[in-house]
Amino acid sequence: MTEQHIGQLLGEVVCAMETGLQGHLRMAGHSDIRPAHFAVFRHIQPEGLRLTELAERAQMTKQSVGELVTYLEDRGYLLRQTDPGDGRVRIIKLTARGEASRDAAFAGFRELEAAWAQGVGTARVAELRATLADIAQLTPAQPPPAVATLAHPRRGSG
């Protein structure tokens, strides 16, 4: 049997987390939030941020993030306010409904972690958290390289 690489396992866990989280949000009255919107919620700070900053952090185009923000703004999760330091700029912030959805998401994460602890044990989940935190410190978040710069292994040469 071939051993799965860590990236594949992490991808499977993230997919399961997103599915569980979406179900939890739906039950909490936030059925209009989709996994694509998680990129926005993940990066919104209490003081808010500019659309360009959000796009950079989410590693998405400004246009794509703008569409997600508009969708969430239309549904009452976000609001755009004029930046007091620069009247030309709008700051994106969570509304009370946005904060409630974030709180529901955190509750969903706690439930998922409790289910994992029940399945594999509290100590192993704590060890996983500590290991992932250590790896995160070793691997600062950076934008992915442009597709054109990725090295592709040669096949059949020899």
Where do the domains of the chain lie? Answer: 6-140
In this prediction the pTM is 0.77
Chain-centre distance for alpha carbon 18: 9
Region of residue 29 (left: phi > 0; alpha: psi -120 to 50; beta: else): left
Q: Tell me, what's the pLDDT at 86?
A: 85
Letter string b/e over residues 9-45, b meaning 16 or more CB atoms within 10 A of that residue's CB: eeeeeeeebeeebbebbeebebeebeeebbbbbebbe
- Report pLDDT for 124: 97
pLDDT at 150: 40
pLDDT tens-digit readout, 65-115: 999 999 999 999 999 999 888 888 899 999 999 999 999 999 999 999 999
CATH (one of 1.10.10.10, 3.20.20.70, 2.40.160.60, 1.10.3110.10) for 6-140: 1.10.10.10
Q: Is the pLDDT of residue 146 over 80?
A: no
144/150 Cα distance (integer angstroms): 10
